[in-house]
Structure 1
Amino acid sequence: MVQEYCTGLFRIGNTFSEIMGQEKDVSRKFYSTLIHEADSLESFLDEHGARENRRWFYFTEYVASIRNLGIAAFFIRHLMDRYPYYNLRETPELVESFSRDSDRALGFLNRSIMNLLKETWSTGKRNGLEPVNDQITSHEIADIEANKRLPRNISQDEVKGEEDRIVDLCEKVKSVSRLMTRENIDLAQDLDSLKKLVPYKMDEKKARMLANQVHSVQSDFDTYVKNTMIEQSHEGLKKIRGYVSLPLHLLEVVLWLCHFYERHEDEIRHGECKRKISMMVDKNELLNTIVNYGFHFSLHFIREGERIADEIYAQFQKIVRVELPIPKPLGFHARPSTYISLIAREHNCDLFLIVDGEQYNAKSVMSLLQAGGAIADKGLEAVTFEGDKRAIDDLKILARQNYCEDKKIPQELSYLRALKDTA
């Protein structure tokens, strides 16, 4: 029975070995088939308790490792296929760097998969499996050609609140970019530095959370912006989709490699099987791919997406005025002034406090303190704020909480906690 379930993986493994020997590219379709065969075999082995059996434990771990690394390889191959078709604004140096590092990362994964396949064959033979010599045929797996862009001829979608949707999208891009930046994960060159980052600052759980955040942005774009007239007429909207898709797939690479590292590497889980896997999958290259390739470039692309979002945002923002009460009982002293300036920073917009026609820059705590003195001298009970509607809406929430003088920061303004810590 095991022989039957192993045949598919062994056949595609034989083809993979030949492709590696000929130094040819592996297609997404091929990786997809490899993943499917490994997943089917792993499920069969798990159903029969192979992980609790000394004879089949090693074999099962190798198959699971092939699946995990195959998924990461699939996403890198997808990125490499799609990269030329994204409407980006990258320098030639960055394009060359990303392409070179993608090739290097995929080469590492291919070598690791090949090592694991060889060990799977050897272990299977020791367990009594018959060798499988034939390969997957070209009719069973066809290379995928690079996608070609079809002409745009779809009619305008009627979307209520279209501009508001775009502002929401920009806010989400900016929010995810800042979230990833706050992880404070920099390039690391030596193994000790990499080990301090994975899994202590970046692990599977965090990578999944970040990927889900980016996926939410991409879903919003595809639902409300893609193939609309406003996308076609706005250069920034044409570009921003690529700066969301790239981080998403790179974070998926990070996710699956963290998954592999946490479950199959001897640094995390000790044991003879983990030690053997560590010999087949170079630890330094694995961690380097997670940090210096996957996360590094995902952060670069989402930050560039944030810059484009700022440009788009500036064209769609709505300037409004609102009258709000002053903080009780001390007016605009350091604490409320700091919160107001952080709101302006979060939305990256001009925000002004107006006293008798004079504008005070709400981005500056010192300017707000100066305004506070003027307000106290005049005995005012309320003042006017002018700025982007999003910032004004958050100011209204802050004012309802008496500027958090005697109350906790509300959930809607939770970003103030993180910004306050870095201010």
Structure 2
Amino acid sequence: MSSKTEFNNDSFLKLIDHLFKPLGSHISFAESVEDWNDIISTDFLGRAKSSSSRVEEMLDHYNAKNNLKWRTFRENISSIKLFTDVAYITLHLKHTSPQYKLLSGIETFLADTNDVIDQYSTSLHWITNELIESSKLVGLDQDNSHNQDLYRAIESPRGQLPSDLKKGHIDNPEQVIVSLATSYLNLASESVLLKKISKLHCDDYRELVPNSISENSIRLLESKFHNLQSLYDTYISSSDIEKLDCDLKLIRGHASIVYHLLEASTLLIHYYERHIMLIPVQTQTETCIPISTEKILDILVNYYINYAEQFLTAGKNLCKKVIKKYAEEGKIDVSVPVYRGFHVRPSTLVSKIIQHYGSEVFLHIGGVKYDASSPMNLFRVNEEINAVKRRNLAQNINSLKTITAFENRDDYEKGLKEIFHELLEDNKIINYASEFSLPDIKTISEETLGEFANRAIANLLAQGKIDLRTDLVVTFVGDKRVLADLEILASCGYGEDCYGNNVVLPEELSYLRK
């Protein structure tokens, strides 16, 4: 029969005291400095984050967050870890963003970055005081001497080491460059939420987390930008492609800064969800939190997310420029959608394919050019398609023998039925109505049977009860990669059969299902 081992508090205290010594030393140094802004360096922040992570890990292993005695100490350790981490990232942005070759706005960004770092400096100063007090309450040794030389600032040399390693060679650099730019644009299309959030009024900030964004959603976006940065570093920076185009480093720079801004956003949202949201709103001002709820949300939206959206948009414009420069142009002739031409579904699918690649593609018909990336522009193509259908209708009606068989105006209704059935049998008309009847319209003086029939059938067409078959084709001109997928889309009826029922798209177009 086994007995439950009694927990040894003294042994636990010794363990945490041992792990806390390095962090205590960093705090001791920080407290010895008059101006906290003087110690906000990547060296101090990195050491403090690493030390606090080790302590937090062990506290969590022993369930300290659910223990009345240790809970406050553990909360302060978590705060130190998070704010040294987010401050480290922000300081990294300050130091490296000038090297990212950003297109614009860097001066304003750096000024705002300094303001955010100042806020973290104040918050960290507050947290360390709280941590010292809570460490006393749990009985940790307060003799945490520090080695002043350990934190002595070392002047950083200017410039960089020469790039003297041999670069790999890629035979098809244009394809790699276009692929990188396309990947960026695809990721940008998944990030539309950032723009919506950046435009929110401050009164709506409290409803933001977790209703609009959460740690999970921003972390997922962050990881995708990290993957994009890794893609560049793996396949481009280690090759000779970078020398071909100076815009490539710009793309990498924009992807990197967006990644780091989202990385810091994830940490702040984590803190808000795990720590602040659990505190009732009416007691938050009385509770020991290092930074107010309003300030955290303000920094999150107006600094991290707002600048992520700004740099993301600048990068999008850059990628479109690169694609336009390198994409190989071609043209294809394809049939128009059978069911009602370029209505909502076909137009949307066409535009999504073009937007997926980030290229310019134009549709040509009747001597007019339309921007095929816009569904609204494609809707306008139907005006030309319907005009052609109406002209073809008149020709088809006038070619029928029935036209000459009914010369008396009183027989026009009967003649209309014969004409309609003949067109239906010749597969010139598609009937969509389950309960069909010809329109009850009056003849006009001096009107021929052909004119009367043309008017009646055009009336049915306008009501959407029928459609007219046509062998009309349109021409798409632009990026060959896009054209290849548009050709596949057209071959499967633009995602519809002739009655407007959805058709499963082939695997090559699986990205349209997102």
TM-score by length of 2: 0.72
2:143 corresponding residue in structure 1: 132
Structure 2: distance between partners of 1:408 and 1:293: 45
Question: Which of the residues 378, 381, 384 maps onto 1:365?
Answer: 378
1:407 matches 2:417: no
1:102 matches 2:116: no
2:329 corresponding residue in structure 1: 319
1:30 matches 2:30: no
1:421 corresponding residue in structure 2: none
Q: Which SS does the other structure have where 2:38 is aligned? A: coil
1:352 matches 2:362: yes
Structure 2: distance between partners of 1:3 and 1:256: 27
Query: Could you list the per-position Cα deviations for residues 239-298 of structure 1 after superposition, in whole angstroms to 9, with x for gaps in the alignment?
Result: 222111111111111011111111111x34559997766542222221111111111111
Structure 2: distance between partners of 1:211 and 1:110: 25
1:280 matches 2:293: no
Asked if 2 retains the 8 angstrom alpha-carbon contact of 1:333 and 1:372, the reply is no
- The letter for the 2-side match of 1:176 is L
Question: Which of the residues 186, 197, 208 maps onto 2:198?
Answer: 186
CA distance change for structure 1 residues 148 and 204 in 2, over 3 Å: closer, same or farther? Answer: farther
Query: Could you list the per-position Cα deviations for residues 303-333 of structure 1 after superposition, in whole angstroms to 9, with x for gaps in the alignment?
Result: 1111111111111111123343442344444
Query: Could you list the per-position Cα deviations for residues 351-374 of structure 1 after superposition, in whole angstroms to 9, with x for gaps in the alignment?
Result: 234558x45425222442144336
- The letter for the 1-side match of 2:127 is L
Asked if 2 retains the 8 angstrom alpha-carbon contact of 1:180 and 1:210, the reply is yes
Asked if 2 retains the 8 angstrom alpha-carbon contact of 1:324 and 1:382, the reply is yes
2:315 corresponding residue in structure 1: 305
Asked if 1 retains the 8 angstrom alpha-carbon contact of 2:361 and 2:478, the reply is yes
Asked if 2 retains the 8 angstrom alpha-carbon contact of 1:162 and 1:224, the reply is no
CA distance change for structure 1 residues 33 and 375 in 2, over 3 Å: closer, same or farther? Answer: farther
Query: Could you list the per-position Cα deviations for residues 22-76 of structure 1 after superposition, in whole angstroms to 9, with x for gaps in the alignment?
Result: 6315221221111111011111112222122110011111101111111111101
Question: Which of the residues 176, 181, 190 maps onto 1:165?
Answer: 176
Asked if 1 retains the 8 angstrom alpha-carbon contact of 2:44 and 2:151, the reply is no
Structure 2: distance between partners of 1:32 and 1:48: 25
CA distance change for structure 1 residues 23 and 387 in 2, over 3 Å: closer, same or farther? Answer: closer
CA distance change for structure 1 residues 21 and 189 in 2, over 3 Å: closer, same or farther? Answer: farther
Question: Which of the residues 244, 247, 254 maps onto 1:233?
Answer: 244
CA distance change for structure 1 residues 193 and 20 in 2, over 3 Å: closer, same or farther? Answer: farther
1:203 corresponding residue in structure 2: 214
- The letter for the 2-side match of 1:373 is N
Asked if 2 retains the 8 angstrom alpha-carbon contact of 1:214 and 1:247, the reply is yes
Question: Which of the residues 478, 482, 494 maps onto 1:387?
Answer: 478
Asked if 2 retains the 8 angstrom alpha-carbon contact of 1:236 and 1:311, the reply is no
Structure 1: distance between partners of 2:158 and 2:300: 27
TM-score by length of 1: 0.86
CA distance change for structure 1 residues 145 and 264 in 2, over 3 Å: closer, same or farther? Answer: farther
1:254 matches 2:232: no
Structure 2: distance between partners of 1:121 and 1:144: 31
Structure 2: distance between partners of 1:113 and 1:146: 29
2:93 corresponding residue in structure 1: 79
Q: Which SS does the other structure have where 1:148 is aligned? A: coil
CA distance change for structure 1 residues 115 and 391 in 2, over 3 Å: closer, same or farther? Answer: same
1:296 corresponding residue in structure 2: 306
Shift of 1:155: 4.1
- The letter for the 2-side match of 1:295 is I
1:39 corresponding residue in structure 2: 53
Moved more, 206-215 or 169-178: 169-178
Q: Which SS does the other structure have where 1:280 is aligned? A: coil
CA distance change for structure 1 residues 52 and 25 in 2, over 3 Å: closer, same or farther? Answer: closer
CA distance change for structure 1 residues 25 and 375 in 2, over 3 Å: closer, same or farther? Answer: farther
Asked if 1 retains the 8 angstrom alpha-carbon contact of 2:343 and 2:379, the reply is no
Moved more, 205-214 or 145-154: 145-154
2:84 corresponding residue in structure 1: 70
Moved more, 285-294 or 107-116: 107-116
1:10 matches 2:42: no
Asked if 1 retains the 8 angstrom alpha-carbon contact of 2:257 and 2:308, the reply is yes
Structure 1: distance between partners of 2:279 and 2:484: 49
Asked if 2 retains the 8 angstrom alpha-carbon contact of 1:321 and 1:384, the reply is yes
Shift of 1:228: 3.8
Structure 2: distance between partners of 1:75 and 1:412: 39
Structure 1: distance between partners of 2:358 and 2:214: 30
Q: Give ranges in structure 2 of 5+ residues lacking alignment.
A: 1-13, 393-469
Structure 2: distance between partners of 1:15 and 1:409: 65
CA distance change for structure 1 residues 146 and 365 in 2, over 3 Å: closer, same or farther? Answer: farther
Query: Could you list the per-position Cα deviations for residues 110-137 of structure 1 after superposition, in whole angstroms to 9, with x for gaps in the alignment?
Result: 2222212211111121222221341244
CA distance change for structure 1 residues 381 and 161 in 2, over 3 Å: closer, same or farther? Answer: same
1:339 corresponding residue in structure 2: 349
1:50 corresponding residue in structure 2: 64
1:176 corresponding residue in structure 2: 187
Shift of 1:417: 7.6
1:60 corresponding residue in structure 2: 74
Structure 1: distance between partners of 2:34 and 2:356: 49
Shift of 1:108: 1.4
Structure 2: distance between partners of 1:213 and 1:40: 28
**Aligned pairs, number:** 412
Moved more, 244-253 or 360-369: 360-369
CA distance change for structure 1 residues 41 and 28 in 2, over 3 Å: closer, same or farther? Answer: same
Shift of 1:229: 3.5
Cα RMSD after superposing both structures: 3.0
Shift of 1:146: 7.0
